[in-house]
Amino acid sequence: MAAETAASQTPAPIPTWTPIVYVVRPGDSLSGIAYRFDVPIEQLAKANDIDDPNVIAAGQRLVIPGPTQEPTATVPPTATPTPEVPPQLEIVDVIGRGAPGVETVIIANRGRALSLTGWTLRDAQGNAYVFPNLYLASGAELRVHTGAGEDTPLHLYWNRETAVWAGKDMVVLADPDGVMYAAKQLE
């Protein structure tokens, strides 16, 4: 009986943190990475001996720091955090270039569903379209029209009178933090 009482009072094992290593991609920022993994930027910088949070390089390997608080009873003993899979968006094409009434950027979501609210579609000259409150399903294709029209879930309208995409321009799709997730060089 005494052995049963001692066994029932043994605390549950404390979950261990499995370190996550993230490889910096072109267009990443330390603040964007910190946001993606829900870690304070100061903690991310300290864990990777980064003195200037504005200086990181593509290909750099960052250790994402683990939780600093003691786990609670609601956390299963075998739980390990799983990082959010980065969006996999592609700028498929820009059609009707130079004609605002038909000029359209086609974007495909090749990964998980995500909110594009506050994201931007921009060119090299600083023209930027800011996405409204929009949720893009996995596998969906979205069209952003330069000209006028009424937004639908898969067709958005910039309502410009002039064309945006001309010459050897660059089309960039970035999140609200400015992290670039898709780009296409126009020829």
Domains recognised in the chain with CATH numbers: 20-64 (3.10.350.10), 89-185 (2.60.40.1260)
CA atoms of 147 and 104, how far apart (whole Å): 8
Query: Can you say whether residue 78 is alpha, beta or left, with left for phi > 0 and alpha for psi between -120 and 50 degrees?
Result: alpha
pLDDT tens readout for residues 141-156: 999 999 999 999 899 9
pLDDT tens readout for residues 6-58: 445 555 555 555 567 788 888 788 888 887 777 888 888 998 999 888 888 88
Q: pTM for the full model?
A: 0.57
How distant, in Å, are the alpha carbons of 77, 95, 121, 128, 163 from that of 124? Answer: 50, 18, 11, 9, 14
Q: Based on C-alpha coordinates, what's the Rg of the chain?
A: 22
Q: Are strands 135-136 and 89-95 parallel, antiparallel or unpaired?
A: unpaired
Q: Assess whether pLDDT exceeds 70 at residue 75.
A: no
CA atoms of 121 and 117, how far apart (whole Å): 12
pLDDT: which is higher, 17 or 186: 186
CA atoms of 166 and 158, how far apart (whole Å): 16
pLDDT tens readout for residues 90-120: 999 999 999 989 999 999 999 888 889 999 9
Residue 28's closest CA among 61, 50, 58? 58
DSSP 57-99: -TT-EEEEP---SPPPTTS-TT----PPPPP-EEEEEEESTT-
